Structure 1
Amino acid sequence: MTLELRDVVIRAQGGAPLFPPTSLVAGPGEIATIIGPSGIGKSTLLDAIGGHLTQGFALEGRILLDGRDLCGLPAEARRVGLMFQDSVLFPHLSVGDNLAFGLARNVRGRAARRRAVDEALEAAGLAGLYDRDPATLSGGQRSRAALMRTLLAEPHALLLDEPFSKLDVALRAEMRAFTFEHIRQRNIPALMVTHDVADAEAAAGPVIDLAPSQVQTSRK
């Protein structure tokens, strides 16, 4: 899978572009990074890619995932996963049921679904916590559980919106390594918004600076 932006521009209704035309290519297992000042439209760009662009904004250019144009497709048809800075788990569901909520539709049958969740919990270092109340998890455990729930949906690309910003320094490095490792294992492209230079360095992929004075193209 390859995620490609071609001269993408987003405008508020009747207004000027939020940022200059932007292009990039993120290949399989590659994590591209978007940086730029607050309010320039970094998260709005992720919304546009995921199919969640707020009413009142207009998108120009093309967004391609493995050659398929995503523009015009509803969010559920895009196969694009999202991970935010708040690791939100449903409080009324157990940890295991939270992960099961994200399972791809092709995983059918109670035994197969339970096995898939148990394997994901083990991969996240959460083995044996299927029935645990999410409120009892640590910050790092919640982040790992949220990531595994997203990956169980078998996305073809992953969007990361400041995913580590609320973690302390030590936990941030741990979650960054954990997240990037799983992206690379699944060989899917990812696009990350961050203010932390260390995040971009660890991603080791293309970097896009949305500041108006920067060149807005990153191609392989």
Structure 2
Amino acid sequence: MNDLQASGIARNTAGLPVRLDDVRFRYGDAEFVYDADFPAAEITAVMGASGSGKSTLLNLVAGFEAPAAGRVLIGGADVTATPPAQRPVSMVFQENNLFAHLTLAQNVGLGRSPSLKLSHEDRRAIADALARTGLGGKEQRLPRELSGGERQRVALARVLVRERPVLLLDEPFASLGPALRDDMLDLLDNLQAERRMTVLFVTHQPRDARRIAHRVVFLEDGKVAASGSAADFFTGTGPEAFRRYIGNNEDVSRDVARKRT
């Protein structure tokens, strides 16, 4: 039995709905209020200007921040007081949080066992995750030997072996060039379709949201200003607050977010 199993946390990738029920959080003079639903097994883009509260929203879902009021619900269960390690959530940051002295396989293995006490099943899952993310054959390389895109692939591979139903991404591809970012978005899209995870994806890029999101939650001044389907957002008649945000720099009438059947 590995550390994750011993903790009593069941591995499960079937997406769970997430709800922020009138959640309130204060940071200095800034107050954030979140009342929003994130449907199970869908990708929701969380968008808004810098300082609007996007990362704070993810931190509240993950348990890294505690609300002053309101409830955080995952799969209908109130997890407001549940420690981060016991929530059915994985998170990928803009900085990929890899350990420089560990190999790729070991960095991914941390998602399975923080002590790296790995069973044969664990090692097989790690190899499968690296292969699935295009890193097969590179198991023994160190992070410094990888490109930026490859390092983010390691972070996604670690998510796969954790097998959590909710995935939070805080601008993980922001530092990548356009072509590489598109490759990573497509990989994320394919992994989500395969695993049916619930994904909350923070991005400043309307183009990224159009490419993979099913829904959009738009934040303004620390509050949820609008939410709905991505297709509705990326039309000339999308929410006014969102249209003000993207201005005239995006052709919102083209390349509308894809719908899955």
Instruction: Specify the code of the residue in structure 2 equivalent to 1:159.
Output: L
Percent identity of paired positions between Structure 1 and Structure 2 = 35
Q: Aligned pair in 2 of structure 1 residues 149, 7: CA closer, same or farther (>3 Å)? A: same
Q: Please list every run of 5 or more consecutive structure 1 residues that lacks an aligned counterpart in the other structure.
A: none
Does residue 39 of the first structure (1) align with residue 51 of the second (2)?
yes
2:130 to 114, 117, 121: 121
Distance of 1:163 and 1:116 partners within structure 2: 23
Once the two structures are superposed, the pairs formed by residues 18-167 of structure 1 within 5 Å of their partners are 18-19=32-33, 21-28=34-41, 30-53=42-65, 58-103=67-112, 110-167=119-176
Q: CA deviation at 1:14?
A: 8.0
- Point out 4+ residue stretches in structure 1 off by more than 4 angstroms: 13-16, 216-219
Distance of 1:211 and 1:68 partners within structure 2: 28
Once the two structures are superposed, the pairs formed by residues 188-203 of structure 1 within 5 Å of their partners are 188-203=197-212
Higher RCO (CA 8 Å, separation ≥ 6 residues): 1
Report the TM-score when normalising by structure 2: 0.74
**Aligned residues, how many?**
213
Q: Aligned pair in 2 of structure 1 residues 191, 8: CA closer, same or farther (>3 Å)? A: farther
Report the TM-score when normalising by structure 1: 0.87
Distance of 1:170 and 1:59 partners within structure 2: 41
Structure 1 match to 2:18: 4
Distance of 1:71 and 1:214 partners within structure 2: 19
Q: Aligned pair in 2 of structure 1 residues 109, 163: CA closer, same or farther (>3 Å)? A: closer
Instruction: Specify the code of the residue in structure 2 equivalent to 1:162.
Output: E
- Asked if the contact 2:171–2:202 (Cα under 8 Å) also holds between the matched residues in 1, the reply is yes
Does residue 169 of the first structure (1) align with residue 181 of the second (2)?
no
Which stretch has the larger CA shift, 189-198 or 82-91?
82-91
Q: CA deviation at 1:176?
A: 0.7
- Asked if the contact 1:22–1:217 (Cα under 8 Å) also holds between the matched residues in 2, the reply is no
Distance of 2:92 and 2:171 partners within structure 1: 8
Q: Please list every run of 5 or more consecutive structure 2 residues that lacks an aligned counterpart in the other structure.
A: 1-14, 230-261
- Asked if the contact 1:32–1:191 (Cα under 8 Å) also holds between the matched residues in 2, the reply is yes
Q: Aligned pair in 2 of structure 1 residues 33, 59: CA closer, same or farther (>3 Å)? A: farther
Q: CA deviation at 1:15?
A: 5.1
